[in-house]
Amino acid sequence: MDLSVTIAGIRFPTCVMNASGARCVTYEELERLGQSRSGAIVTKSMTREPRQGNPEPRYFSFPGGSLNSMGLPNLGYPAYAHLIPALRRFKKPIVASIAGFQPEDFIEGVRYMNEAKPDLLEINLSCPNIPGKPQIGYDMEASERLLQMIKAHTELPFGVKLPPYFDPVHHEAMAQILGRVGVSFLTAINSIGNALVVDPDHESVVIKPKGGFGGLGGPIIKPVALANVRAFWKLLGDRMPIIGTGGIQTGIDVFEHLLCGATAVQVGTVLVEEDIRVFDRIETELREYLDRKGYRSAIACRGRLKEL
Ligand code: SIN
C-alpha cells in the first residue's frame, strides 16, 4: 500500500502529518516529529518575536473536541530559521508555518525562511486567537495583497492555511485568489474561531483568553472540514493539492478527507491527546481500510466521493 504523496514537487513518505500548533513549538518537539511516522515536520506558526502566548488556561478538552486559545506561543522567526537545517537529517519534508500581525512581518518571516530553506511554507491566514486581530483569511482583498507580496519575495513553494468558510461565495472568491496568486497548496481548515464552551457547574467559561472564546477543533468539526475540502476540490480539482485538517481521529477519517479531495491530511487535537504514537495507529488503520476497499494507494481514492 503506497501512502506517499507529492505536493509542489515534494514527496511526503506518508499522507498523514502534524497540524501546525500541535506538539511542534520547541526543537525537542520538532525532533520527536522527525523520529515519528508523521509524513512531515510542520512547525508551529512563527512570528517576528518569540511569544509566550495567551494566559492559561488556554486549552480545554471535552468529549468530541477541544477549545484552544494558545495565542501563537512560538520561538520567533530567527530561532526557527536556525533550527530548520538540523531537522533535515530526518529526511522528510519540513513545512514552515508563517504568521504575523502585519504584512511586513510575513515578509520578514519569508526572508528568514529563504535562508533556512524548508521544503514548503504554509502561510497562516487564520489564527483566531489574537485579541484585536481578525483572521486575515476572512478579508479577501487583504489576503490577496499579502499573498502577492509573499510571492514577490520567495522562490519557495508556499500554500495557505485557511479558516473555515460557510458560504459557497467565499469558497469561490478564495479559490480565484489562490489561482491568481498561484499558490502551491491550501490547507483547510484551521480551528473554527471564536467558539464558546460553558461549564454549567461553575457557571463559567473554560479558558481564560478573550473571555472564553477560542478555536474549536477535534471530531466535532469534521463535517465543516470535509465540506471545505470538498468545496475547494470542486473548484480547483487537480490544479491545487489540498491538505485536509479537522476532526481526524482514525484512519477512516483520513479516508473521508481523501474522498472529499484532500491529497494529504494533518492531525491536531488527536496528536495533543495521544502524542506521536498516534501516527502509527492512524497509518495502520488507513492501510487496512484502503486495502479492504481495494485501493492500492492513498491517492487512488482522492476526490472520489459519490453524490446522490
Ligand atoms: C494559536 O496559537 O492560538 C493557534 C494558532 C492558529 O489557530 O493558527
**Residue 149: its pLDDT value, please?**
98
**pLDDT score of 300:** 98
Burial class (CB in 10 A: 0-12, 13-18, 19+), 182: exposed
Question: How would you class 69 by CB atoms within 10 Å of its CB: exposed for 0-12, middle for 13-18, buried for 19 or more?
Answer: buried
> From edge to edge, which strands make up the β-sheet containing 192-196?
59-62, 65-68, 213-217, 192-196
CA of 287 to the centre of ligand 1 (A): 31
Contact between 164 and 228 under an 8 Å Cβ cutoff? The reply is yes
Q: Is the CB of 190 under 6 A from ligand 1?
A: yes
Cβ of 245 below 6 Å from ligand 1: no
- Strand bridging mode 242-245 / 264-267: parallel
Q: pLDDT value at position 119?
A: 98
**Residue in 43, 125, 191 to alter for ligand 1 test, most ligand atoms within 8 A of Cβ:** 191
Catalytic site includes residue 301: no
The one-character DSSP state at 130 is S
Report how far residue 182's alpha carbon sits from residue 159's, in angstroms, rounded to the nearest whole number.
9
- Nearest residue by C-alpha to atom 5 in ligand 1: 127
Can you list the positions of beta strands (E) in the chain? 5-7, 10-12, 16-18, 41-42, 59-62, 65-68, 94-98, 120-124, 158-162, 185-188, 192-196, 198-199, 204-205, 213-217, 242-245, 264-267
Q: Is 25 in the pocket of ligand 1 (CB under 6 A)?
A: no
Taking CA atoms only, the protein residue closest to ligand 1 atom 7 is: 127
**Measured from the CB, is residue 38 less than 6 Å from ligand 1?**
no
Domain ranges of the chain: 5-53+71-191+218-301
For 297, phi and psi rounded to 5 degrees?
Answer: -155, 160
Catalytic residue among 24, 127, 260, 301: 127
Instruction: Note the helical H segments in 88-221.
Output: 103-116, 140-153, 168-181
Residue 82 confidence (pLDDT): 98
Q: Which fold has domain 5-53+71-191+218-301?
A: TIM Barrel (3.20.20)
Give the distance (Å) from ligand 1 centre to CA of residue 296.
35
Residue nearest to atom 8 of ligand 1 (CA): 127
With residue 298 as reference, give the H or E element that holds it: none
| Alpha-carbon dihedral 36, 118, 181, 153, rounded to 10 degrees | 160
DSSP 57: P
Q: Is the minimum distance from the CB of 123 to ligand 1 under 6 angstroms?
A: no
The reply to whether ligand 1 has any atom less than 6 angstroms from the CB of 205 is no
Percent of all residues in the chain with a pLDDT value above 70, rounded to a whole number: 100
List pLDDT tens digits, range 211-264.
999 999 999 999 999 999 999 999 999 999 999 999 999 999 999 999 999 999
pLDDT in tens, the chain (308 residues): 999 999 999 999 999 999 999 899 999 999 999 999 999 999 999 999 999 999 999 999 999 999 999 999 999 999 999 999 999 999 999 999 999 999 999 999 999 999 999 999 999 999 999 999 999 999 999 999 999 999 999 999 999 999 999 999 999 999 999 999 999 999 999 999 999 999 999 999 999 999 999 999 999 999 999 999 999 999 999 999 999 999 999 999 999 999 999 999 999 999 999 999 999 999 999 999 999 999 999 999 999 999 99
Ligand 1 pocket, 130 CB below 6 A? no
CA distances from 23 to 53, 54, 74, 267, 274 (A): 15, 17, 11, 11, 11
Strands 213-217 and 65-68 come out as antiparallel
Number of helices and strands in the chain (H, E)? 9, 16
Atom of ligand 1 nearest to the CA of 126: 8
Instruction: Give the global pTM.
Output: 0.98
From ligand 1's centre to the CA of 111, what distance in Å? 22
Cα of 21 to ligand 1 centre, how many Å?
A: 6
